[in-house]
């Protein structure tokens, strides 16, 4: 079966205020921040409050992220993580089904 390259993918999304607040609390929890520090091998991290929906591979998005976020991928000062599915469920976020969060290394 041949691969189909997607030319355009709408990665925009809007979170309900309550869902966003719940998700941000989960993403800034002390235990979770410590886990991220261990994974990124740094002393401390700070949640930038930037989220994006992963996008399919295309000629304009070879990293699987919207072009605006590529600068964070290329920088050693930031780490990008997949938001854990249980966080999405607890925040009652079902659309989009996946999100990534950006953390700044301190």
Q: Domain boundaries in the chain?
A: 17-105
pTM comes to: 0.85
Q: How far apart are CA 88 and CA 30, in angstroms?
A: 18
pLDDT of 1 above 80: no
Cα Rg of the chain (Å, integer): 15
Q: Note the pLDDT tens digit of each residue in 25-78.
A: 999 999 999 999 999 999 999 999 999 999 887 777 778 888 889 999 999 999
Contact 104, 76 (CB under 8 A): no
Of 52, 68, 56, 53, the residue nearest 8 (C-alpha): 56
């Amino acid at each position: 079966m041949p691969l189909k390259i997607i030319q355009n993918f709408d990665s925009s999304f809007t979170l309900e205020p309550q869902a966003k607040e719940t998700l941000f609390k989960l993403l800034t929890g002390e235990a979770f921040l410590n886990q991220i520090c261990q994974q990124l091998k740094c002393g401390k991290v700070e949640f930038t409050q930037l989220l994006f929906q992963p996008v399919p591979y295309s000629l304009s998005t070879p990293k699987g992220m919207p072009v605006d976020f590529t600068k964070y991928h290329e920088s050693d000062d930031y780490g990008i993580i997949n938001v854990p599915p249980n966080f999405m469920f607890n925040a009652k976020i079902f659309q989009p089904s996946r999100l990534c969060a950006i953390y700044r290394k301190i």
